[in-house]
Amino acid sequence: MELPVSFENVIDALKKLPGIGRKSAEKLAFQLLELDKESQEKLVSSLTDMMKNIKICEKCGMISEEQFCKICNDATRDKSKICVVENIKDVFALERTKEYDGLYHVLGGVISPNKGIMPEDLNIKTLEERITSETKEIILANSTGLEGETTSLFLNKLLSKYDLTITRLGYGIPMGAQLDYADEFTLIKALESRKKV
């Protein structure tokens, strides 16, 4: 049976989300239809509002509704530490631990020559621009797979010219794991066991 075009368009849009195939997209689309009118309108309004208002922080690459994110604007954060992460979800994962009080820097991915992602494609230049005399430690919180390790090695070499300590999250996180899938306890242990690179 052929589905209505507008319904098919929703399925196609949902399939663009990571991990969502045709069947999952269909299921979600049917669930959206089953919502009451008020809930449907709230969802559409929220998505529209998010797309209109969310920006990328000009300092760290985090999401924000302002020029700079709440973390960069927080005067109580320890400005001597910058934790370098692959993506925005990693910031949220580390913040859930309530153990880290420094700043963040979102790379926007990892170096992956096979996928055509080179250092210049990542948010690395702005990381160097953020290093000041106040910066004492860079914490590399990349994933532990080959691409994450490659990125960490590149950053370690690049940043070694500065007078600061470069540490790497401890290996409490399994090889190949993504930070946003780790529980708070694992992330706390990884933060505690970080070491100089």
Instruction: State whether the Cα torsion 147-153-157-162 is positive or negative.
Output: positive
User: Is 60 inside any structural domain?
Assistant: no
Number of domains in the chain: 2
Q: Domain check: are 43 and 134 in the same one?
A: no
On the question of pLDDT at 132 being above 80, the answer is yes
139 vs 191: which has the higher pLDDT: 139
Binned at pLDDT 50, 70 and 90, residue 48 comes out as very high
φ/ψ of 118, rounded to 5, equals -110, 165
pLDDT band at 78 (very low <50, low <70, confident <90, very high): very high
In terms of domains, do 117 and 185 share one? yes
Percent of the chain predicted with pLDDT > 70: 98
58 pLDDT higher than 90: yes
Residue 169 has a pLDDT of 83
Q: Is residue 69 part of a domain?
A: no
- Could you tell me the sign of the dihedral formed by the alpha carbons of 166, 55, 112, 15, in that order? positive
Among 87, 29, 10, which residue's Cα sits nearest to residue 56?
Answer: 87
Q: CA-to-CA distance for 72 and 59, rounded, in angstroms? A: 7
Do 84 and 18 share a domain, yes or no? no
| pLDDT value, residue 103 | 98
Residue 156 lies in a domain: yes
Question: Under a CB-based contact definition with an 8 Å cutoff, are residues 64 and 56 in contact?
Answer: yes
Instruction: Establish if 66 belongs to a structural domain.
Output: no
193: pLDDT strictly greater than 80: no
- Please say if the pLDDT value at position 102 is more than 80: yes
Is 115 found in the same domain as 33?
A: no
Same domain for 38 and 85, yes or no, is no
CATH number at residue 22: 1.10.8.420
Phi-psi region of 63 (alpha: psi -120 to 50; beta: other; left: phi over 0): beta
Instruction: Assign 172 a pLDDT band (cuts: 50, 70, 90).
Output: low
Query: Do residues 39 and 85 both lie within one domain?
Result: no
Q: Is residue 98 part of a domain?
A: yes
**Domain range for residue 97?**
76-196
Q: 187 vs 37, 98, 125, 156, CA distance in Å?
A: 40, 10, 27, 21
Residue 89: per-residue pLDDT: 96
Whether residues 103 and 168 share a domain: the answer is: yes
Token pair 């309108």: residue = 41
Q: What's the pLDDT score for residue 143?
A: 87
| pLDDT at residue 112 in the model | 94
pTM of the model as a whole? 0.79
